[in-house]
Amino acid sequence: MSEFSIAENFSQYFAIKFANTKALRQAAFKIRYGVYCDELGWEPENERQMETDKCDNYSFHCVLEHKRTKTFAGCIRLVIPPADNPQLKLPFEESCLDSAIPGAIDTQQLPRGGFGEISRLAVLSDFRRREKEKNTPYVLNNVNPDVVFSEIERRNFPNIAMGLYLSGLALAEICNHVGILVMMEPRLNRRLQRFGLPFEQIGEETDYHGRRAMFYLSRENFHRELTSQISELYDIIYNDLKKQMFFIPYTNLADK
């Protein structure tokens, strides 16, 4: 058994990058293309081999770098509805608003610019597949996962998605948001609950690339209940991202 914690293992092999350049954002779009277009077929293929939508223009993006190979393993974004343009909506508001549970959190009443939706989490199959699997992965930078990744590195692959979710959470805290939304499968919510992320279900299950529902996490619960190991990982990711970001966090002028 490894003597290192989840956080130490994760930070040994991976680094979160705030996509503050065109090149890094395009790296995220290429990862999304590999997963959502090439692998899953959820979005149409295109010649650019980048998966994008209009929400990308008002989102913060992160990519996860595999340190040794300098390969990007996954990505995530935090979509933030601009305060100065109420017509711009979250993915949830565009596609699944009619599934909202009456009496639950109403996103229309939340301060625009002061909350966001975590979406477009994607992890390339290179970093999900087992060593002996025969399916051909979508590979960036001509990396052959059967040759490049050691068994010790593979043991950390299951933590990639958690690291990306925590990145979205860290972005929201750095932005001083009142809460975050995530569209996910109820079984994933149960797993996140076990790690100390008490999301509240605010939407009925709907068929959105499988049975999914909208969940909300308020700021006071961002990391108050995290397990010790996940909390340690969150602190590393939060501090790494904060060093890379420079902007004015959301302020509710009504509170002043």
> What pLDDT does residue 69 have?
87
151 pLDDT band, cuts 50/70/90, is: low
Q: Classify residue 133: in a domain, yes or no.
A: yes
Q: Classify residue 137: in a domain, yes or no.
A: yes
Q: What percent of the chain has pLDDT over 70?
A: 83
How far apart (Å, rounded) are the C-alpha atoms in residues 76 and 29? 10
How far apart (Å, rounded) are the C-alpha atoms in residues 50 and 36? 10
> What pLDDT does residue 155 have?
55
Per residue in 31-90, pLDDT (tens digit) is: 999 999 999 999 999 999 999 999 999 999 999 999 988 999 999 999 999 999 988 999
> What pLDDT does residue 248 have?
59
**163 secondary structure, DSSP code:** H
How far apart (Å, rounded) are the C-alpha atoms in residues 190 and 64? 24
How far apart (Å, rounded) are the C-alpha atoms in residues 205 and 4? 38
Per residue in 185-195, pLDDT (tens digit) is: 998 999 899 99
Q: Classify residue 253: in a domain, yes or no.
A: no
What b/e readout covers 76-89, taking b as 16+ CB neighbours within 10 angstroms? bbbbbbeeeeeebb
The domain of 39 spans: 6-245
Q: Classify residue 15: in a domain, yes or no.
A: yes
Q: Classify residue 1: in a domain, yes or no.
A: no
Q: Classify residue 14: in a domain, yes or no.
A: yes
CB-based burial label for 168 (10 Å; 0-12, 13-18, 19+): buried
> What pLDDT does residue 101 have?
92
- Mean pLDDT over 198-220 rounds to 92
Q: Classify residue 254: in a domain, yes or no.
A: no
Structural domain tally of the chain?
1
- The SS3 call for residue 247 is coil
> Distance from first CA to last CA of the chain, Å, rounded?
52
Out of 93-107, 164-178, 194-208, least confident range: 93-107
Give the CATH number for residue 145.
3.40.630.30
Q: Classify residue 148: in a domain, yes or no.
A: yes
How far apart (Å, rounded) are the C-alpha atoms in residues 1 and 109? 49
Question: Is the pLDDT score of 117 beyond 50?
Answer: yes
